[in-house]
Amino acid sequence: MKKKFFALMMACVMAFTMTACGGGADTTGDTTSGDTQSGGQTASDSIVIGTIGPLTGPYANYGLSVKQGAEVAVAEINAAGGINGKQVVLLSEDSQGDPDSAVSAYGKLMDDGIHALLGCTLSGETANVVAAAAEDDVMILTPSGSADKCLEGNDKAFRVCFYDSYQGTAAAQYIVDNALATEVAILYQSDVDYSVGLYNSFKAKCEESNIKIVETQTFTASTATDFSTQVDALVASGAKVVFTPIYAEEASTFLTQAKGKFASDVYFFGADGLDGILGKVEQDPSIANNVLMLTPFAADSDDAGVKSFVESYQTAYGATPDQFAAGSYDGVYVLKAAIEKAGSTSGAAMAQAMTEITVEGITGSMTWTADGNTSKAASAILYFDGVGKLFG
């Protein structure tokens, strides 16, 4: 019965989302007029949240997870009466992973009358939209834009996820705490800010923690099809942990070419960018064996909130949610908490409220500082034979 009810609610929310086109932004929380939405709704009848991310292309797994995680949260919130008595409308735009396209998508969402933005998905597009929105009275909450600097220049921009320098530091600390290795090797993408940011903070923490880096290899977007040189060098290093702060698309190519060449006890340890790796190696899940991923979310957790979210997500989409979906789900509830605390959908008022609220989410207990950052406990998932489980 629960699954049938949730599926019905999801269908209603998706239909509402597809037919809605917002009016002017409500900056007082008590708007009495607005452009008419499809289906007879007006801007004053609903709270419109936008999302931006790659829904097509090689990074679509991240954007779709964000969109779908948000849809689950919106369905739950609307079923419970909405936010301050108003139903939530979710509008999603495809950035194709391109920062310039993301800015255009933001402009369209503003024309559609969004009250808050849950996005963007990737750090590069987040940085561009955060800059473009600096003078707008709209709060931005990215579930997954992790680059340290992607929130700069906009005091109404916040994030749900770890930021990159924290992830790199936490990864090195995790190696120490779990006695994984005293010598490590590194493979990172030198033309991607995400990868470079994690590399720099990981390296600094290794030096502080007396972890020896015995080999460092790099690649760029133009060389991401042939990893033979990098594989040979990393294997020869003898390291038992290879830190791989890269995205799942490139990681799947590297791991495919590396299969069978490393010792069976070598771990490939990365951060949130590796989420979705199993979907990239469906033809042979064993390619991802021994991949460790730092994460604030584990779908096999015994936490009641996590279990409920995973069940709802699987009912709606027939898949197990990743941390991008979980971060987006939490993000909608964070926006709800900020709106309720502020008593308004004004971006400035919501930004002030963000520094005053605590949200107990499925990705952790969160508070925020004025710079937009939150911190929370991290764990790691180990993948083996197509299954990811909490490690240690």
171-193 tens-digit pLDDT: 999 999 999 999 999 999 999 98
Confidence of residue 357 (pLDDT cuts 50, 70, 90): very high
**149-163 average pLDDT score:** 96
Confidence of residue 18 (pLDDT cuts 50, 70, 90): very low
Highest mean pLDDT among 131-135, 144-148, 165-169: 131-135
Confidence of residue 31 (pLDDT cuts 50, 70, 90): very low
Which of 8-12, 75-79, 98-102 has the weakest average pLDDT?
8-12
Residue 15 has pLDDT above 60, yes or no: no
Residue 287 has pLDDT above 50, yes or no: yes
**201-205 average pLDDT score:** 97
Beta-ladder partners of 42: 36
Return the pLDDT at 220. Answer: 98
**203-232 average pLDDT score:** 98
Q: At the topology level of CATH, where does 2-162+302-366 sit?
A: Rossmann fold (3.40.50)
- Rounded Cα–Cα distance for residues 290 and 312 (Å): 29
List the strands of the sheet with 116-119, edge to edge.
Answer: 87-94, 46-53, 116-119, 139-142, 157-159
Q: Where in the chain is the domain with CATH 3.40.50.2300?
A: 2-162+302-366, 165-295
Return the pLDDT at 369. Answer: 96
Residue 247 has pLDDT above 50, yes or no: yes
Of the candidates 268, 327, 320, which has an alpha carbon nearest to the alpha carbon of residue 295?
327
Strand 379-384 and strand 387-390: the pairing is antiparallel
Rg of the chain over Cα atoms, rounded to whole angstroms, equals 21
Burial 51-67 (b: 16+ CB within 10 A, else e): bbbbbeeebbbbbbbbb
Return the pLDDT at 285. Answer: 96
- Rounded Cα–Cα distance for residues 324 and 208 (Å): 30
Residue 383 has pLDDT above 90, yes or no: yes
Distances (CA, A) of 358 to 10, 111, 333, 369: 27, 31, 11, 11
Between the CA atoms of 255, 274, 71 and 143, what dihedral angle is there, to the nearest 10 degrees?
Answer: -160
Distances (CA, A) of 226 to 194, 220, 223, 232, 296: 21, 11, 6, 12, 32
Secondary-structure class of domain 165-295 per CATH = alpha beta
Query: With helix as H, strand as E and coil as C, how does the chain read?
Result: CHHHHHHHHHHHHHHHHHHCCCCCCCCCCCCCCCCECHHHCEHHHEEEEEEEECCCCCCHHHHHHHHHHHHHHHHHHHHCCCECCEEEEEEEEECCCCHHHHHHHHHHHHHCCCCEEEECCCHHHHHHHHHHCCCCCCEEEECCCCCCCCCCCCCCEEECCCCHHHHHHHHHHHHHHCCCCCEEEEEEECCCHHHHHHHHHHHHHHHHHCCEEEEEEEECHHHCCCCHHHHHHHHHHCCCEEECCCCHHHHHHHHHHHCCCCCCCCEEEECHHHCCHHHHCCCCHHHHCCEEEEECCCCCCCCHHHHHHHHHHHHHHCCCCCHHHHHHHHHHHHHHHHHHHHCCCCHHHHHHHHCCCCEEECCEEECCCCCCCCCCCCEEEEEECCEEEECC
Return the pLDDT at 10. Answer: 52
Residue 290: CA count within 13 A, CB half-sphere: 18
* CA angle, 64 then 380 then 96, to 5°: 20
Residue 16 has pLDDT above 50, yes or no: no
Residue 44 has pLDDT above 90, yes or no: no
Dump pLDDT digits (tens) for 294-352. Answer: 999 989 889 999 999 999 999 999 999 999 999 999 999 999 999 999 999 999 999 99
Return the pLDDT at 360. Answer: 96
Return the pLDDT at 343. Answer: 97
Of the candidates 16, 21, 74, which has an alpha carbon nearest to the alpha carbon of residue 331?
74
Mean of all residue pLDDT scores within the chain: 89
